[in-house]
């Protein structure tokens, strides 16, 4: 029983962590914040259901298609909306409000296309339905989600720290004018950042779809919990994002299992408030967000 609870908490926590990675990536590379990640996750899950469940395209091809399409959507959001607002010297709060508007547009657009009923995402692994961990059967999709989340965390960290383009993205966030003087295109770097963050959210949607189904509010709560995870782990820190997500997922799942599911949100957001009071820079001590 305990092993199943821990695995369930890890799965939920890894999904929170993937969303938190998107938040942290955007802040790390552009100094901006977004609240559209949750609904982009829902969009990715719906598109994955369409490609994989309806059109019968193999899962991994569907995954690549969805991530590429949503990557382009994230790039377009940055170029068409965020970049134009920044060119008018808009305050940061207006960027946040714009992303909230984008979130509702995606949510309502998804309702028009796919409706409000829950859709059942087909299993990813049809022949191997469970694997045994410490003599406990675990859904194969759950183990796969944990593995993909860890790979994404490591990949993003090394991409941001050890590649030329990752360095360019961080330089653009620190000082766009100085980066431009060094031959870096800040506009392209920021756009790619938003695209990658959107692609990660879509990936999370396709991972969680087979486990929980696909419905219109799937990403709403996950988006908020992902943001809380990023703050708890250290906003802008890749490892902190995943760590915060795992902690939040485990606490929430154990609360629902051993106390009551009615209290899981209360405990989760209470934990967030405790972190903001005791350690506002997060577990891995990332520099606090500037106003």
pLDDT score at 291: 38
Q: Structural domain of residue 164, as residue ranges?
A: 2-125+145-278
CATH of the domain at 268: 1.10.3470
φ, ψ for residue 266, nearest 5 deg: -60, -45
pLDDT score at 290: 44
Q: Give dist(CA 105, CA 108) in Å, integer.
A: 5
Instruction: List average pLDDT for each run of 10 residues in the chain, which is 291 residues long.
Output: 83 91 84 89 95 94 96 94 82 86 94 93 83 78 88 85 81 76 81 92 92 89 90 86 92 91 90 90 66 38
What total number of domains does the chain contain?
1
Which candidate, 42, 71, 24, places its Cα nearest to that of 196? 71
Q: How far apart are the first and last CA of the chain?
A: 45
In a domain, 182, yes or no: yes
Q: Give dist(CA 244, CA 227) in Å, integer.
A: 10
Give yes or no for a contact between 240 and 58, defined as CB atoms under 8 angstroms apart.
no
pLDDT score at 248: 94
In a domain, 130, yes or no: no
pLDDT score at 288: 44
In a domain, 97, yes or no: yes
Q: b/e for 198-211, b at 16 or more Cβ within 10 A?
A: bbbbbbbbbbbbbb
Q: b/e for 31-46, b at 16 or more Cβ within 10 A?
A: bbbbbbbbbbbbbbbb
In a domain, 286, yes or no: no
> What DSSP line would sit under 22-90, residue for residue?
HHHHHHHHHS---S-HHHHHHHHHHHHIIIIIIS---HHHHHHHHHHHHHHHHHHHIIIIIHHHHHTT-
pLDDT score at 164: 83
In a domain, 132, yes or no: no
pTM equals 0.90
In a domain, 36, yes or no: yes
Neighbour count for residue 127 (Cβ, 10 Å): 6
φ, ψ for residue 133, nearest 5 deg: -125, 115
């Amino acid at each position: 029983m305990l092993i199943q609870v821990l695995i369930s908490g890890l799965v939920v926590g890894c999904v929170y962590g993937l969303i938190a990675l998107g938040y942290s990536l955007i802040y790390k590379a552009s100094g901006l914040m977004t609240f559209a990640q949750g609904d982009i996750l829902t969009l990715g899950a719906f598109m994955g259901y369409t490609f994989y469940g309806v059109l019968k395209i193999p899962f991994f091809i569907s995954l690549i298609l969805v991530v590429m399409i949503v990557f382009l959507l994230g790039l377009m959001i940055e170029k068409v909306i965020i970049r134009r607002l920044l060119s008018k010297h808009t305050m940061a709060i207006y960027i946040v409000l714009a992303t909230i508007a984008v979130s509702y547009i995606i949510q309502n657009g998804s309702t028009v296309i796919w409706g409000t009923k829950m859709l059942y995402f087909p299993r990813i692994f049809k022949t191997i339905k469970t694997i045994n961990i410490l003599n406990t059967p675990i859904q194969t999709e759950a183990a796969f989600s944990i593995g993909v989340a860890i790979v994404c965390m490591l990949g993003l960290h090394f991409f941001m720290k050890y590649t030329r383009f990752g360095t360019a993205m961080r330089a653009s966030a620190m000082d766009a004018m100085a980066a431009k003087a060094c031959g870096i295109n800040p506009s392209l770097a920021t756009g790619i950042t938003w695209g990658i963050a959107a692609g990660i959210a879509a990936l999370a949607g396709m991972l969680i779809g087979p486990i929980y189904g696909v419905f219109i509010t799937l990403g709403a709560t996950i988006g908020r919990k992902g943001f809380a995870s990023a703050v708890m782990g250290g906003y802008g820190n890749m490892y902190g994002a995943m760590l915060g997500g795992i902690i939040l997922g485990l606490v929430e799942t154990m609360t629902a299992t051993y106390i009551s599911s009615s209290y899981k949100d209360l405990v989760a957001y209470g934990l967030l408030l405790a972190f903001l009071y005791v350690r506002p820079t997060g577990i891995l001590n990332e520099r606090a967000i500037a106003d």
